[in-house]
Amino acid sequence: MDEARSGSGVGQERGAHAGENVFLVGLMGAGKTSIGRLLAKRLGKAFFDSDQEIERATGVRIPVIFEIEGEAGFRAREARMLSELVRGGNIVLATGGGAVLSPQNRKLLAENGIVIYLRAAVADLWNRTRHDRNRPLLRSGEPLATLERLYAERDPLYREVAHIIVDTGDQSPGSLVHRLERRLGEFEAGAARPSDSPAPAG
């Protein structure tokens, strides 16, 4: 079941473009980029993917940045890019899976847009990412165990920052985008009500 809230758990003051922007958070494989691009088209907003913007700015792929600068170096670049992107207006932004690790990033997101957590079961995330070679954090001897650990660590942070939580489930992108539009309408109209739905099982 989806969840909607009157506000996220972080941030107080709302930025000038907070009502215009939509930020998507969630683990790798949640569909932030594909869904975000469709949602932006439906809403008449510009679409940005923070990882793609980092690659555009540096001229190299994310795994290369991890190899050269380590995760800490990448996270610093990510924070700078998010700081630039979230202050724009009328955008849909797909964030990297680890963007919520930084309290400052969570604050920026919560104060400058409506944050939607695209939540999915670990099994679904695994099926979507297991053959993707552009996921540096899954380049380990036990990638499924790594994904389970990331979910356990990050799910509370996604829930903290999100104004709306939507379980992606097994549905078409078009159906999910339609649900997102409806949830956004409810949130903006102040009709959203909290729900106590549990996180999906792995």
- The pLDDT-based confidence of 189 (bands split at 50, 70, 90) is confident
Residue with the bigger pLDDT between 174 and 193: it is: 174
Cα separation of 188 and 180, whole Å? Answer: 12
Domains identified in the chain and CATH numbers? 3-188 (3.40.50.300)
Sheet holding 3-4, edge to edge: 3-4, 164-167, 114-119, 22-25, 91-94, 46-49
- Mean pLDDT computed over every residue of the chain: 82
Residue with the bigger pLDDT between 111 and 128: it is: 111
Q: Report pLDDT digits (tens) over 127-182.
A: 766 555 555 555 666 777 888 888 899 999 999 999 999 988 777 888 889 999 99
Token digits of residue 17: 């473009």
- The pLDDT-based confidence of 197 (bands split at 50, 70, 90) is very low
The residue among 106, 118, 111, 100 whose CA lies nearest residue 33 is: 118
Residues 101-129: what's their mean pLDDT? 88
pLDDT at residue 4 above 70?
no
